[in-house]
Structure 1
Amino acid sequence: MIVRIMGEGQVRLDDSHFAELNALDDDLLEEMESGDEAGFRRTLGALLDAVRRLGTPLPDDALEPSELILPAPDSSLDEVREMLSDDGLIPG
């Protein structure tokens, strides 16, 4: 699976990591719904860190279709709310 982190680039992730990332996405949705800004910042950072840690960055000149697009690390809670569908960042 190819994941794009806005403002950073693309990362190739093995599908075996989907469950871990989906759990973080679920936590992020809960924090957004409750307006927990501190939790949102913490979980967004954890989600992006997991993608970076588990994935392999694609070269900067590579442009492959992204299956997932994640917000930039400095995105606000309101900006991420606008990005989301009912399924969250990671479709379930």
Structure 2
Amino acid sequence: MIVRILNEGQWTLDDEAFAALNAHDDQIEEAVDSGDEARLTRALTALLDEVRSRGTAVPDDSLADSDLILPDAEATLEEVREWLADNSAGEGLVPG
């Protein structure tokens, strides 16, 4: 699966990585529900770090569609709230 981090790039991840990503995703949802911007930033940074550490960077000159797009670490509480609202499946930022 190819994951894009906005304003940064893409990484290829195997399916096994998604259990760890979902744990961070749960923390992001909890931070949004509580309205805690600092907690959101920590959880979002941890999620993105997990993508970078578990994934393999896709070369910039490669054209590949992203299977999943994540906001960058500077995303605000309101921006992430909108991302979550746009996900009609209710699965957070990361499916599964």
Give the TM-score, by structure 1 length: 0.94
Aligned to 1:31: 31
SS of the aligned residue for 1:65 comes to coil
RMSD: 0.9
Aligned to 1:12: 12
Aligned to 1:80: 80
Structure 1 position 82, deviation (Å): 1.1
* More off after superposition, 50-59 vs 80-89: 80-89
Structure 1 position 67, deviation (Å): 1.3
SS of the aligned residue for 2:69 comes to strand
Q: List runs of 5+ in structure 2 lacking aligned partners.
A: none
Mapped partners of 1:53, 1:77: distance in 2: 24
How many equivalent residue pairs? 92
Mapped partners of 2:33, 2:67: distance in 1: 24
Aligned to 1:40: 40
Give the TM-score, by structure 2 length: 0.90
